[in-house]
Structure 1
Amino acid sequence: MDVTVTHTEGRYEAWAGDRRAGLMDYRDENRLMVITHTEVAPEFEGHGVGGALVRTALDEWRKEGRRVLPLCPFAKGWIERHPDYADLVSRPRS
């Protein structure tokens, strides 16, 4: 499936043609990117849409020298399955 990921302030969106296939919300807390929610439309589940969202954001944030705090269970699990992104993860403060 061909997916295009776009970015607006606080959100990444995945598009399959003219249909929004998914989204990922985040907050920028002084250059710490807090991923709060990832959602994929049911008809697009299992086609790599969520992974495309997370990967696109993490690749951009890596280039910008930002850190990531994945509060969203999907994003957290995706990063755990892709250890090459583990260096971006900031541990929550105690």
Structure 2
Amino acid sequence: MTEIRQTNNEKKGVFEIYFDGKKAGEMTYTWAGEDKFIIDHTEVDEAYNGKGLAKQLVYAGVNYARKNGKKVIPLCPYAKATIAKNAELQDVLA
């Protein structure tokens, strides 16, 4: 069972993913003005590799952008590759 929690402030934010109640990874972002944010890092603990958790974090970021009318700049190589491979995510690109 996974749970994603978001913490956001005026300059930065993070999506943290928990697997069976334990923090398994995170995706950080930095605001670039009021209408877009930069995904700068995605990381999942090695113990949780192969479970698709990093992909869930990217989807959470995209869904947040959609719900709030924001755009995404994926500088993190993983987020950039994931969005590039999944056409349904590309509508939020800045």
> TM-score normalized by structure 1?
0.90
> TM-score normalized by structure 2?
0.90
Partner residue, 1:89: 93
Partner residue, 2:15: 12
**Aligned residue identity for 2:25:** G
Secondary structure of 1:47's match? Answer: coil
Partner residue, 1:58: 62
Number of residues of Structure 1 aligned to a counterpart in Structure 2? 89
Identity among equivalent positions (%) equals: 31
CA RMSD in angstroms, aligned pairs only: 0.9
Could you list the structure 1 runs, at least 4 aligned residues long, displaced by more than 3 angstroms after superposition: none
Q: How does 1:15-94 map to 2 (within 5 A)?
A: 15-30=18-33, 31-90=35-94
Structure 2: gaps (5+ residues) = none
Structure 1: gaps (5+ residues) = none
